[in-house]
Amino acid sequence: MNVIIVGAGNVGSTSAEALSKVHDVLIIEKDPAKVDSARTSVNASVLHDDGSNPKVLEAAIARVDADIMLSAVPDDSLNLFICFMAKRIKPNIITVACLRDPDYIVKTAKEGVQGIDILVSPELITAGKIIKLATLENAVSYDDISNPGVALATFRIDRNHGLVGKVVMDISLPEDCNIIAIYRGESAILDNETAEIHADDRICVLGSHASMEQVNRIVGVEKEAKEFVILGASIVGVEVAKALLRGGKKRFIKIIEKDEALCRYASRELDDAVIVNADFVDPSVLRSENVHRADVVISASTMDERNLLACMAALRFGTKKIISKYSKREYEGIFKYTGIESIIGYHRVISNEVIKHLVFDDRAVINTGHENEYLFTSVLDKRSVLTGNRLGDVHMPEGVRIAAIVRGGEPLYPHMDTMFMPEDRVLVFTHMANPVEITKLLGQETPQEL
């Protein structure tokens, strides 16, 4: 398909990078510096022009016979305008608007209103992931997989927990979930049924949303998280605070923000939160605000450097759980180096969301956040080694695990005696796997992202 992306900022360039692997992409950008950057870093054509100009849009749509229009400029109102204009120029074009401010969320074609087909809001998705991590005390990562309605979460095993020394197959887990990997240091164990749990292992679980809460309790909740400190009154920070306050539980929420205007904005939006106008990068502020006593500290400012410094200070103060967002992918390694595990990369959120909506095959890929680790789906046919065989009778390539089977629209979590049927849609989890071996297993080419 032919895709036009208006805007070559963080959202636009990340979207182009993800989509250019399977589609032809044209980027329209008016900022000369961003044009130069896109031309050197993204496998896409780049047009130096104003994508909000209707004449430019019309010419570009005609030039490439565009099937998809994705608008990702910094101004939400312009993103809506560009999509509406694209529909007027070519009614059957698929329009995608990337919106930051929840106030600009509008009804889509699925809700019976023409103009916008798909809305992508990285801020709201990031806030959703943070909320899950904040309320699942033992989770260090969390991904929501809307189709087929499951979640992927990683839980840390405390060194003093009763699970240490137990074999995976002896752990009493909910039926609607599956341990698909055990992370131990830098390695991952996928063939783990007979593996013994060690102290500080992290177990990666795929399952229903309800099962994640059960697994969280099994891993052990010494103290329910009730006190949350949010650093930064950004859109993400305020949305997280709103969700925590309406969660039906008694919770104490404090937001620390240096910018007075953002403090006023947070005060208007939040009736029951404490808003502190101070610089959270200053360790003395964190100390005076008793950040070390919080159950969870969430760093949600729009500046990666400030998030990093604040997290390092909170880590030094002994805060039990720290969650942070970051925008630039270069910061991922730096956050991990400091020992902060629960980090949410803006670029990963964008990439996964765009692929989910715009890679039009049954094998849309989700990058889990670990290097060379993916979760994707594949529909079985007679070419697959799996079809007509039981899981226990199939030799799995190294680094490959069948995480779930979607049959009749419902996810099933396979055991060794589970039989694979034609037309089963399998969720395949891979870690450092050889694409050639995956192709042999499935009887079809692996997704290009692998």
Tokens of 139: 């989770």
Q: Using pLDDT thresholds of 50, 70 and 90, give the confidence band for residue 363.
A: low
Per-residue confidence (pLDDT) for residue 280, from 0 to 100? 93
| Residue 336, domain member (yes or no) | no
Whether residue 1 is predicted with pLDDT greater than 80 in this model: the reply is: yes
State how far the Cα of 206 lies from the Cα of 403, in Å rounded to an integer: 7
203 and 147 fall within a common domain: yes
Strands 322-326 and 296-299: parallel
8 A C-beta contact, residue 311 and residue 340: yes
201 and 236 fall within a common domain: no
State how far the Cα of 328 lies from the Cα of 270, in Å rounded to an integer: 29
Among 223, 244, 229, 227, smallest CA distance to 158 is for 223
369 and 301 fall within a common domain: no
22 and 108 fall within a common domain: yes
Using the CB atoms, write b or e for 73-88: b if 16+ within 10 Å.
Answer: beebebbbbbbbbbbe
Order across the sheet with 94-98: list the strands: 45-48, 24-29, 2-6, 68-71, 94-98, 118-120
Whether residue 448 is predicted with pLDDT greater than 70 in this model: the reply is: no
Tokens of 443: 């009887």
321 and 240 fall within a common domain: yes
Report the alpha-carbon angle 250-252-253, nearest 5.
Answer: 130
Among 388, 411, 353, smallest CA distance to 180 is for 411
214 and 244 fall within a common domain: no
Q: Using pLDDT thresholds of 50, 70 and 90, give the confidence band for residue 263.
A: very high
Among 128, 143, 270, smallest CA distance to 212 is for 143
Query: How would DSSP label each residue in 66-115?
Result: -SEEEE--S-HHHHHHHHHHHHHH-TTSEEEEE--SGGG----GGGT-SS
Mean pLDDT confidence for 3-22: 90
| φ, ψ (nearest 5 deg) of residue 190 | -95, -40
| Residue 197, domain member (yes or no) | yes
> Domain containing 274 — which CATH number?
3.40.50.720
> Domain containing 386 — which CATH number?
3.30.70.1450
How many domains is the chain partitioned into structurally?
A: 4
- Average per-residue pLDDT for the chain: 90
Top-ranked range on mean pLDDT: pick from 220-224, 347-351, 372-376, 420-424:
420-424
| Residue 22, domain member (yes or no) | yes
Per-residue confidence (pLDDT) for residue 366, from 0 to 100? 76
Per-residue confidence (pLDDT) for residue 142, from 0 to 100? 92
Query: How would DSSP label each residue in 113-158?
Result: -SS-SEEE-HHHHHHHHHHHHHHSTTEEEEEEETTTTEEEEEEEPP
Whether residue 364 is predicted with pLDDT greater than 70 in this model: the reply is: no
Q: Which of 219, 245, 267 is the last residue of a domain?
A: 219
Tokens of 320: 């039990």
| Residue 180, domain member (yes or no) | yes
| Residue 350, domain member (yes or no) | no
Q: Is the dihedral of CA 55, 101, 344, 182 positive or negative?
A: negative
Among 280, 143, 137, 276, smallest CA distance to 216 is for 137
Per-residue confidence (pLDDT) for residue 449, from 0 to 100? 63
pLDDT in tens, 118-129: 999 989 999 999
Q: Which of 189, 219, 249 is the last residue of a domain?
A: 219
Whether residue 371 is predicted with pLDDT greater than 80 in this model: the reply is: no
| Residue 89, domain member (yes or no) | yes
Q: Using pLDDT thresholds of 50, 70 and 90, give the confidence band for residue 354.
A: confident
Per-residue confidence (pLDDT) for residue 38, from 0 to 100? 92
116 and 17 fall within a common domain: yes
Tokens of 421: 């049927």
234 and 206 fall within a common domain: no
What is the span of the domain harbouring residue 31? 2-120
Q: Which of 302, 326, 350 is the last residue of a domain?
A: 326
231 and 213 fall within a common domain: no
204 and 312 fall within a common domain: no
Whether residue 446 is predicted with pLDDT greater than 90 in this model: the reply is: no
Strands 2-6 and 68-71: parallel
| Residue 164, domain member (yes or no) | yes
Q: Name beta bridge partners: 155.
A: 139, 203
Among 446, 431, 442, 385, smallest CA distance to 152 is for 431
Per-residue confidence (pLDDT) for residue 8, from 0 to 100? 93
Helices 10-19 and 32-41 pack at an angle, to 10 degrees, of 30
pLDDT in tens, 197-254: 999 899 999 999 999 999 999 988 778 899 999 999 999 999 999 999 997 789 999 9
| Residue 91, domain member (yes or no) | yes
